[in-house]
Structure 1
Amino acid sequence: MKAVITGETDELIGINLRDNGGAEHIIDIRKSDGQITAHNQDGYPDKAAERTHSEGEHVGHARKYAQYYIAQETDYDTIPWDLNADRFADVRQALQALSTDDIDHFFGDLLEQSLSHYRDDPDVDVGETTRPHELPAEMIGSDNAVRYKQEIYLDDTGAIESVSGIGIEYYVARGDRTTTWHGDSPDRDPDASLDVVPAPLIDPVSFRDYLDYNLRCQIRDCYLMRGMEPPEQYRVLGHGQYRFTGKYENFDLYPPYHDFQADIPGYSHEFRPDLPITWAELRGMTDPTQSGSLYDQIKSTLFSR
């Protein structure tokens, strides 16, 4: 991507950029909220329905990059909150500073909701775990298709001030998902929103690390969705924001970044939770000559209280 600011009025700022496909875009953005008020380009059909997936993504990249570029070059806050990698990085730092009691205070219900999916799994010691919110009756498909959301709000010092209730995202028809929210949230944009699938993590610190890794993947998504290669520390594999997973699965423009087993040069799966034993001890428990998977060899240690 290459861009240049071409001018501004009291309300708008103009930008000219060339996307990764070589097409030129002329975009006007409102300074106050980052909304795009005009967009002309010379490389793709004007009607979105007539564009290929890749052409549509190039147009989307140009719009998001324009918002990002203006925010970088001026004092205007033009990046949507849900694509703001800097905010997500601040939330990651706040997460990493939490004590065990703080993790339980802010994310205890989310941990319980996640673990409730393993109540019938004899290999996961869920203890007295209950399900804070029952899954919606209109949900179709298996429990494994559910995702959970929780918004995070920082205070002026960069610490976590509050969180929203839990959002349950599920299928109501083939290809049609919706989200039901429980609880209240502050009347302002969050600084980040977690977007996770249930995981058999019992220890609060390990669960916190799981949430932190989701945000790390979301930061990767922020860069990819504006046509940029992420910085090295964010070239990671795994689920970020679910809304981009379908693109990674189905669009030729993208490798499957959501797949932690994918072979993408320069990218790796780096989720390493804080475990109740050391990595040296964990390696000592495994024996590649034994029958059964490595998971079978270590699950009693990782998933027991």
Structure 2
Amino acid sequence: MIQDIPVDFHPYAHFIIAAEDIKRFNPIASHVLTQVFVDICQDVVHTTTNPAATDFLKNLTDNLPDFPRDGPEETKLLADDLYDSIRSTLRSGKVTKQTAHQLWLCGVLYSVLAGDEAIKRERICKISAARVRKMLLTSAISPDNTTQQQQQPSKLHHVNTELHMKSQKPSKNPLKTFQSSSKINKVNLNGDQPNNASKNTNNNLNDQNGDNGVSFESLMSHFDEAKAMQYLSALGANMSYTPQLNEKCKPSIAQKLDLSLSCLARDDFEQAASFLNAAQRAWKTGKP
């Protein structure tokens, strides 16, 4: 399907691809994802002279019905159900070739929802999808059959524990970024991120120790830029320590890296490389 989408809209194609995936069994949540895609593309289309992009968006918009009133709630219910289902699968020690795709889809659903829990689960799903995909590629998990993980329980346990979250009461307004009209402004194109939740919130991840590695949150908290540069240099990467990173570029770079991760989750390596190169250019030039 990606080949049918104009290249101008490829960075946001995951919304419409996910919408098609769930359309047959949850048309309401599918509509929500499609509307997110349309709203973003309506801003992007003004920056391109590609007539195919204009025609594609017009055709999609003309055939889009009114935004469903219960769209946000249905989307959250689907995301939570899918999340719990994946956790159950991983707890049983069984993984199918669809697990990585389900994690990716779950991450897309959470990406259009508001609240700290949705933000955290979105990141967990994206990272877990990449880990499961890596295990599939290295034959740690059979890509063709459901396989009991007896030979390498630690890898599967690591993915499972990242998905395991303590019980949390739903926030009073977890879907506040959805407007009452068809417009949706959850997707943040300028890279700004909400403040991190308190360490004492109920949805903190379980501690990751020993062979299980570290969680995403722990990694971000303990990231050392100087040590990271030193490590990459030791691996033979051509790293430059100048110019110094412009602090104003950090949100833009973070956004590009996040988009690159989304592309990798759907095996779009060419687009992923494009976002990585864009992040590198932003670092070198000091311009977002």
User: What TM-score do the two structures reach when normalised by structure 2?
Assistant: 0.31
More helix by share: 2
Could you say which structure has the larger radius of gyration? 1
More strand by share: 1
